[in-house]
Chain A
Amino acid sequence: MNLFKIIDQLAEVDADVLGRFDSRRAIFSSLGTAAKRSALAATPLFLGALFQKAYAGTTATAVEVLQYALALELFEQDFYGKVKASALYTAASAADKAAVDQIKKHEDSHVTLLKGAISGMGATPVSGVTFKAAVFATLTTFKTGPAATSQLGIAQLLEDTGVRAYKGRAGELLGTDLLTVALQIHSVEARHASKIRTMRGQLAWVNPGDDLATHPVYTSGVTAGSNPGQFGLAVPAYTTASPVENNTTQSGVPITTGLGTTYSASDAAAAYDEYLQVAEVLDNSRAGGLIGA
C-alpha cells in the first residue's frame, strides 16, 4: 500500500487534500522513525483515521454520495463494455465507434477516480453493478429504430439519468471541494447525453418533442419499487416527487410568462435540466430495472 499514491489519487479528486493535511512531509515527520512510519502507513486503520481527520464532519455523507456515484458509473461502464463487445458496434461507422470509445474512456476514469477516493476515505467501494444481460440481448439496433430496442436509445436514458442523479445529491456536498469534482463529472455526463442524442437524431437537450419524452427517466416519482440494499447503498429519505423534465417553473418563477418576455413551454423546459432523488433513480421504472446480472 503506497500512501503517497493514495494521497495523489485523492488530490485528483480534491485539489485541497494536501492543504487538509499540514503537508506530505509533516504527516511523516510527526510519525517518528522510519520503521514506525512504514508499519503505520501499511495499516488501513491508520489511513482511515488520517482521512477521517482530514474530512472531519463530512466523511459519512461524502462517502455515501461517492458510493452512489460509483454505482452509477459502474453501471454505465458495464453497459458500454457490452456495447463495445457487440456485433452492432463493430458494424458502426468509425466516428460513431470513436464517440462510444470516448464515452467509455470517461466512465472508466470516473470509476477509477471514485474507487480511489472511497478507498482513501476508509470505506470499501461498491462493486458488481452491471447492466442486465437479458435486457441487453433485446437491443437489436445500434442507433436506429425504436429507442427501447436500440443501444444508443438506452445509452441516452442512462446518460440523462446520470445528469439528473448527480444534480440530486449536489446539495449534500454544499461548500466542499468534492462538490466541484461531482460537478466536473456531472457536466461530462451532460456532454455524453448531448452527443448520444445528436447521434440518434434528437435535439441535444431534453425537450417535450423527444421520442423518449414520456419515459419515466424524464418524469419523476417512485412507482415500481427498488432494491438498493443489494449494493449496500444508503438511500436518503424520500417524500416528494422531484420536478418532471417538462417543468416550466423555476424557483417559483413561471418561466413562460413571468420574465417580461414570453417564452414557449418547450424552450422553458429545455433551458433547465431537473434533478432526481436516489429512490427515483433506483426505481425499477428507471435504472433500478436495468441493473442486474
Chain B
Amino acid sequence: MSQHSQVGGQDELITAQPLYTPIKRRSFFMYAGATAGATALILAGCSKDDTNNNAPTPTPGGTGASVSLGSGDVGVLNYAYALEQLEAAFYAQVVKTPASDFQGSELAYFTQVASHEAIHRDFFKAAINRDAPGKIIPGLNPNFTSINFASRASVLGAAKAFEDLGVAAYNGAGKLLKTAAYLVIAGQIVSVEARHAAYVRDLLDTTGTSFAGDDQVDPTTGLDKAMMPVDVITAAQTYVTEKLDASTVGK
C-alpha cells in the first residue's frame, strides 16, 4: 500500500516540480521516513486537488535567486540559520491560521514551539552578524504551497518532516564545526528539536513507539539519523523560494 502511495506521490511531484531529480526525491523519502514522508506530501497535495478546486497550483521551490550558504564555520551557522528560518516561518503560519481540527492542547504546544524556533532564528542572525559581519545570508522567502494549514494531518505531517530533518541536519553538521563554542550551541539546540520531533510524532501515533520509531532510530544500533548539508538542503529546497547552495558548508 505504502509502495503505491509513494509512487503516486512521486508522480504528483514530477508534475509540480520538474526540477526535482529522481535520486533527490528518493533520498528525501529515505531520510524523512518513507511511508510517513510520502503520506504527508500526498495529504498535502491531495487535499488541494480533492477538496478545493480553486486552490492555487503549488509552485516549485528553488526557482528564485541563488543563495550560497558560504564556507567554514560561518557556512554551518548560515545553514542552521536557513533551516531555523524555515521552521520559524512554518510554525508562525501554523499559529496564525490554526487547523480547525487541532485537538486539546495542540495549538498551545505549537505556540511554544513557534517561539523556540523564532528564538533559534533570531539567535543565529545575531551571532552571525556579531562573529562574521557581512557574511550572513538574507532572509529567505518560504514556499509552503504544498502544505494545507487548514488540515491537522497536513500540518502534523509537515512538522514531523521538518523536525526529523532538523535533527538529522544538526547531527550531521556537528563534525563540520571547528569552533567548540559553536558545537555546544548546536548541541543545545538539536536536543530541543529532537524533543519537538518526538512530541509531534507522538501526536500522530497510536502504538506508543513512534517518538523514536524504527523508521527514524536504527533498531540495531540505536542511532538517530545524521545527514550532510547538501542532502538536507535537497530535501528542504521544496519549501524555499531561493535556490540554496550548501556545497561549501563546513569546507
B-contacting residues, A72-116, CB 8 Å: 94-99, 101-103, 105-110, 113
Q: Could you tell me the distance between the alpha carbons of A191 and B112 in the complex, rounded to whole angstroms?
A: 18
Please judge, given known A-B contacts A99-B208, A176-B175, A190-B194, whether A204 and B187 are in contact too, CB under 8 Å: no
> Across the interface, do A185 and B222 meet the contact criterion of CB distance under 8 Å?
yes
Cα-based distance from A225 to B66 in the complex (angstroms): 56
The 8 Å CB contact of A251, one of B178, B181, B219, is B181
Q: Which residue of A lies closest to B202 (CB)?
A: A198
For residue A274, which residues in chain B have a CB less than 8 angstroms away from its CB?
188
Roughly how many angstroms separate A144 CA and B234 CA in the complex, as a whole number?
Answer: 44
Give the most central of A98, A103, A108, A186: most B CB within 10 Å: A186
B191 to chain A, nearest CB (A): 4
Across the interface, which residues of B come within 8 angstroms of A205, CB to CB?
112, 116, 192, 195-196
Q: Assuming A191-B195, A195-B202, is B188 touching A180 (CB within 8 A)?
A: no
Give the interface segment out of A21-29, A129-137, A262-270, A283-291: A262-270
- Residue A143, interface by CB 8 Å: no
Nearest chain B residue, comparing its CB with the CB of A13 = B221
Against B, the Cβ 8 Å flags (1 = close, 0 = not) of A231-267 are: 0000000000000000000110101001111011001
The distance in angstroms between the C-alpha atoms of A104 and B196, with both chains bound, is 21
Please name the residue on chain B nearest to A261 by beta carbon. Answer: B122
Contact B184 A167 (CB under 8 A): yes
Q: Is the CB of B209 within 8 A of A270?
A: no
A210 within 8 A of B: no
In the complex, which of the residues B167, B194, B209 has the most CB atoms of chain A within 10 Å of its own CB atom?
Answer: B194
A229 CB, min distance to chain B CBs, angstroms = 27
Q: Is B152 an interface residue (CB 8 A)?
A: no
* Residue in contact with A250 in the complex, picked from B123, B167, B191, B206, CB distance below 8 Å: B123
Once A183-B170, A263-B119, A271-B119 are accepted as A-B contacts, the answer to whether A204 and B195 lie under 8 Å apart by CB is yes
B125 CB, min distance to chain A CBs, angstroms: 8
Report the minimal beta-carbon distance from A202 to chain B, rounded to whole angstroms. 11
By a CB distance below 8 angstroms, the chain B residues around A194 are 194-199, 202, 211
* Pairwise interchain contact B223-A188, C-beta atoms closer than 8 A: yes
Residue among A97, A170, A195 with max Cβ neighbours from chain B (10 Å): A195
A184 near B: Cβ within 8 Å?
A: yes
Q: What sequence of 0s and 1s flags, for each residue 177-203 of chain A, a beta carbon within 8 Å of any chain B beta carbon?
A: 101110111111111111101100001
Interface contacts beyond A99-B209, A109-B220, A191-B217: sample of 17 additional A-B pairs, CB < 8 Å, sorted by A: A96-B208, A98-B209, A109-B222, A167-B188, A171-B183, A176-B175, A180-B226, A185-B223, A187-B190, A192-B211, A198-B198, A205-B195, A251-B127, A251-B181, A261-B118, A263-B119, A267-B112
Is the C-beta of B48 less than 8 angstroms from some C-beta in chain A?
Answer: no
Chain A residues touching B, majority SS: helix
- Interface residues as binary, B210-250 with A (CB distance below 8 Å gives 1, 0 otherwise): 01110001111111111000000000000000000000000
Chain B CB within 8 A of A32 CB:
no
State whether the Cβ of A57 lies closer than 8 Å to any Cβ in chain B. Answer: no
Interface size class on chain A is 35 or more
Report chain A residues within 8 Å CB of B217.
106, 188, 191
Contacts of A260 in B (CB 8 A): 122
Does B2 lie at the interface of the complex (its beta carbon under 8 Å from any beta carbon of A)? no
Question: Does residue A121 face the partner (Cβ distance < 8 Å to B)?
Answer: no
CB of B191 within 8 A of CB of A188, answer no
Chain B interface main SS type: helix
From A175, A185, A258, A270, B126 is in contact (CB under 8 Å) with A258
Contact between A190 and B198, CB atoms less than 8 A apart = yes
Residue A218 at the chain B interface, CB threshold 8 Å? no
Q: Report the minimum CB–CB distance from B192 to chain A (whole Å).
A: 6
Q: Which residues of A contact B60 (CB under 8 A)?
A: none
CB within 8 A of B187: which of A12, A109, A176, A275? A275
Are A105 and B208 in contact, with the CB atoms below 8 A?
no
Indicate if the CB atoms of B208 and A183 lie closer than 8 Å. no
Partner among B167, B171, B181, B208 whose Cβ is within 8 Å of the Cβ of A180:
B171
Residues of B within 8 A of A281 (CB): none
Say how far A2's CB is from chain B's closest CB, in angstroms.
Answer: 18
Q: Which of B192, B206, B207, B222 makes the CB contact (< 8 A) with A188? A: B222
**Bound complex: CA A112 to CA B120 (Å):** 35
- Nearest chain-A residue to B119 (Cβ)? A271
Q: Which residues of A contact B211 (CB under 8 A)?
A: 99, 102, 191-192, 194-195, 198
Evaluate whether A271 and B115 lie within 8 angstroms (CB atoms) in the complex, with A184-B171, A187-B191 already known.
yes
Quick check: is B65 within 8 A (CB to CB) of the other chain?
A: no
Q: Which of A97, A167, A184 contacts B224 (CB 8 A)?
A: A184
> CB-defined interface of B89-113 with A at 8 Å, one 1/0 digit per residue?
0000000000000000000010010
